Amino acid sequence: MSYVEGFVLAVPAANKESFRTMAETAGQVFLDHGATRVVECWGDDVPDGKLTDFKRAVKAEDGEVVVFSWIEWPSKEARYTGQKKVMEDPRMRMGGDMPFDGKRMIYGGFMPIVSFGR
C-alpha cells in the first residue's frame, strides 16, 4: 500500500497566488522524485472547534487561510529516498520568498489503513 505525507499550514490570503505558484513548482519536484500524487487544498470551510481545530493547530492569524496538503508515495521507503532528493533539488531553493510561515506548518507521514476510490 502507498504512504502519505500530510501538511497543514496557514497562508496569508493575500499570498494565494504566490503560494499556488510555489506549490506548482514544488509539486512537480516531488513528482520528479517519486511521488505519485500531490494535492494542495485552499481552506474554504474550516470551522472553529470547541477544543481544537485546524486554525489553532497552525496558529492561524487574522487574514490567513488554512491549507491542507498531501503527497502520496509508493511506499515509506520511496518517501524517504524521494524527500532527500527533493531537498537537494535546486528548484526547491526558495530563500526568503516563502509565502507562509514555515515554523507554523505541521506535517507527518502516515500509513494508510483503509483506502477507497476509483
Query: For residue range 66-79, what is the model confidence (pLDDT) as tens digits?
Result: 999 999 999 999 99
Q: Cβ neighbours of residue 65 under 8 Å, at least 6 residues apart?
A: 10, 11, 12, 13, 16, 42, 43, 46
Task: Provide the residue type at 86 as one letter.
Answer: V
pLDDT the model gives residue 3: 98
16-32 helix and 76-88 helix, angle to the nearest 10 degrees: 120
User: What pairs with residue 68 in β-bridges?
Assistant: 8, 41
pLDDT of residue 118: 86
- Terminal CA-CA length for the chain: 15
Determine the average pLDDT of the residues in 55-65.
98
- C-alpha gyration radius of the chain: 15
CA distance 79 to 23: 18
What is the band of 97 on the pLDDT scale with cuts at 50, 70, 90?
A: confident
State yes or no: pLDDT of 96 exceeds 90. no
Q: Which domains does the chain have, with CATH numbers?
A: 3-110 (3.30.70.100)
β pairing state of 64-73 and 106-110: unpaired
What Å distances lie between residue 53 and 29, 48, 115, CA to CA?
A: 30, 6, 24
